[in-house]
């Protein structure tokens, strides 16, 4: 008959002793001066690299070193508040780690924690790579405003392509605080569905897929770093010729961001003739903001479901384009470039795609039918382009700061052709500017040829045609250079 000894059973009425104070740091990496945690080193000086485990929190907040003379415990004196959940979880699961640190007068400052294979103990779902991934995310987050010891609240998820339920669970337990509150609760519910045997396999698959998508996104606060206006102006001048009023309006937006450290409440709506560089302006703004960008071509979207996703009741259900853009970017801050906004009201499916855009543009949150969760959109900056503002509904217009893009004058077209279009084409063809020369009279013919067309696309095509003809003559007739005067241009472009 087995004999059980209950002398060492834990006292349920006793609570673990907290030996540390929390440091509220926003440092993006740990150093000896700004460590993850500080351990007591009064009894002995700890080695630079030391192995061991964090003790289970029901005992005492300390670290047990694996020393040559056995296990030696040292109390944790200070801890970065962002890492409380992670270190508690490492202790509860007996994960063996290696600390890297230095001995200071006030304690052993730990600036690196790595998982090691030691003694056959428990391992993380992706071993040390997963631990470093979680720590990287915690370093990227802001310090909590106050200590929160509600363990059930500290659950979340994210992804380095987290697809297995185990890796999602591990990440939620260790770094849950980095998720917005509503997504944290959503993740808990979906994880319960994904584990349940009371729902169909299809429902479990959809829940797990939705979790993996959501966990792949780094949810950031609405704080926006300042932008150098001079660098912004340099990028605009590099991408665009002229358009001083347009550039001025964009720089004003940059100054506003620098004052408030938040994105403006309204995006930009660029309205002008085709070929005037509206999309190029949008890409330049995304480059200035240093945000990933995605493009929505409204002329090819005829069903709102393409944007909102389909319900999970369907076997082939999937998220919408907007949610997929968040997932592809890997973060919640991105620029949505909405091309052909004036075509958005021409929905041919079961509704109007323009109505879906209203929720995205309001910055109050966007709900995808597949995810079944309100996605924060405070980090989204929309930039739309359109040819005809009369075809855009008043509700859509009211959500943008409108910038009219004028067509280019003949003099501007001459400058663009000679300084931008032709040199760009020659560079792409591997030709020098001396091999293809267009005289002033030839340039006049080019511009006059396309005086009734808007934008500069026809000019760029003309430059392509002229350069290709010059290259043909150089290769076939073995000439060193080709000069196009008025008659040559007229003959070539007729």
Q: What is the pLDDT of residues 297-311, one digit of tens each?
A: 888 888 888 888 999
SS3 per residue for the chain: CCCCCCCCCCCCCCCCECCCEEECCCCCCCCCCCCCEEECCCCCCCCCEEEEEECCCCCECEEEEEECCEEEEEEEEEEEHHHHHHHHHHHHCCCCEEEEEEEECCEEEEEEEEECCCCCCCCCCCHHHHHHHHHHHHHHCCCCCCCCCCHHHCCCCCCCCCCCHHHHHHHHHHHHHHCCHHHHHHHHHHHHHHHCCCCCHHHHHHHHHHHHHHHCCECCCCCCCCCCHHHHHHHHHHHCCCCHHHHHHHHHHHHHHHHHCCCCCCEEEEECCCCCCHHHHHHHHHHHHCCCEEEEEHHHCCCCHHHHCCCCCCCCCCCCHHHHHHHHHCECCEEEEEECHHHCCCCCCCCCHHHHHHHHHCCCCEEECCCCEEECCCCEEEEEEECCHHHCCHHHHCCEEEEECCCCCHHHHHHHHHHHHHHHHHHHHCCCCCCEEECHHHHHHHHHHCCCCCCCHHHHHHHHHHHHHHHHHHHHHCCCCEEECHHHHHHHCC
Mean pLDDT of the chain: 84
pLDDT of residue 123: 55
Model confidence over 27-81: pLDDT tens digits? 889 999 999 999 999 988 999 999 988 886 556 788 989 888 888 889 999 999 9
Residues 198-227 have a mean pLDDT of: 88
Cα 130 to Cα 12, 96, 113, 115, 414: the distances in Å are 33, 14, 12, 9, 57
pLDDT of residue 57: 55
Least confident range from 144-153, 281-290, 296-305, 440-449: namely 144-153
Model confidence over 473-484: pLDDT tens digits? 999 999 999 999
pLDDT of residue 118: 52
For the beta carbon of residue 153, count every other beta carbon within 10 angstroms.
15
Residues β-bridged to residue 378: none
% of the chain surpassing 70 pLDDT: 88
% of the chain surpassing 90 pLDDT: 31
pLDDT higher than threshold 80 for residue 124 = no
Tell me whether strands 366-368 and 267-271 are parallel, antiparallel or unpaired.
unpaired
Binning pLDDT at 50, 70 and 90, where does residue 176 land?
confident
pTM of the model: 0.66
In order of start, what are the domains of the chain with their CATH numbers? 15-124 (2.40.50), 150-219 (no CATH), 229-404 (3.40.50.300), 410-492 (1.10.8.60)
Binning pLDDT at 50, 70 and 90, where does residue 231 land?
very high
pLDDT of residue 395: 87
pLDDT of residue 419: 86
Residues 271-298 have a mean pLDDT of: 88
Least confident range from 124-128, 137-141, 199-203: namely 124-128
């Amino acid at each position: 008959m087995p004999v059980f000894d209950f002398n060492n059973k834990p006292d349920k009425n006793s609570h673990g002793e907290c030996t540390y104070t929390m440091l509220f740091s926003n440092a993006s990496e740990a150093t000896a001066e700004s460590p993850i945690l500080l351990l007591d080193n009064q009894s002995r000086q700890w080695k630079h690299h030391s192995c061991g485990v964090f003790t289970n929190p029901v005992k005492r907040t300390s670290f047990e070193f694996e020393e040559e003379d056995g296990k030696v415990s040292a109390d944790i004196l200070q801890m970065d508040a962002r890492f409380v959940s992670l270190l508690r979880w490492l202790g509860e699961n007996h994960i063996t780690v290696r600390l890297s640190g230095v001995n200071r007068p006030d304690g052993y400052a730990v600036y690196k924690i790595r998982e090691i294979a030691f003694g056959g103990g428990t391992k993380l779902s992706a071993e040390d790579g997963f631990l470093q991934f979680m720590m990287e995310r915690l370093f990227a987050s802001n310090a909590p405003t106050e200590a929160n010891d509600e363990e059930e609240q500290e659950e979340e998820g994210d992804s380095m392509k987290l697809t297995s339920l185990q890796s999602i669970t591990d990440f939620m337990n260790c770094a849950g605080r980095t998720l917005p509150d509503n997504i944290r609760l959503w993740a808990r519910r979906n994880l319960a569905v994904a584990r349940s045997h009371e729902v169909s396999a299809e429902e479990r698959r959809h829940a797990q897929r939705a979790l993996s998508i959501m966990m792949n996104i780094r949810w950031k606060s609405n704080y926006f770093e300042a932008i150098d206006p001079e660098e912004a102006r340099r990028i605009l001048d590099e991408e665009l010729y002229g358009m001083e009023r347009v550039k001025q309006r964009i720089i004003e937006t940059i100054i506003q961001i620098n004052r408030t450290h938040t994105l403006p409440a309204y995006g930009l709506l660029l309205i002008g003739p085709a070929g005037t560089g509206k999309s190029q302006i949008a890409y330049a703004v995304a480059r200035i903001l240093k945000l990933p960008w995605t493009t929505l071509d409204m002329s090819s979207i005829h069903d709102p479901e393409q944007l909102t996703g389909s319900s999970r009741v369907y076997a082939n259900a999937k998220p919408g384009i907007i949610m997929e853009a968040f997932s592809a970017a890997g973060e919640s801050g991105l620029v949505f470039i909405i091309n052909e906004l004036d075509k958005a009201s021409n929905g041919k499916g079961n509704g109007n795609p323009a109505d879906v855009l209203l929720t995205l543009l309001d910055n109050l949150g966007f709900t995808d039918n597949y995810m079944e969760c309100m996605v924060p959109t405070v980090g989204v900056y929309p930039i739309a382009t359109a040819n005809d503002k009369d075809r855009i509904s008043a509700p859509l217009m009211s959500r943008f700061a409108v910038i009219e893009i004028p067509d280019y004058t003949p003099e501007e077209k001459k400058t663009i052709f000679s300084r931008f279009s032709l040199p760009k084409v020659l560079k792409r063809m591997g030709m020098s500017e001396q091999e293809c020369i267009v005289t002033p009279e030839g340039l006049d013919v080019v511009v006059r040829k396309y005086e009734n067309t808007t934008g500069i696309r026809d000019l760029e095509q003309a430059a392509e045609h002229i350069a290709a003809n010059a290259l043909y003559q150089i290769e076939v007739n073995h000439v060193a250079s080709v000069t196009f005067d008025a008659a040559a241009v007229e003959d070539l472009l007729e």
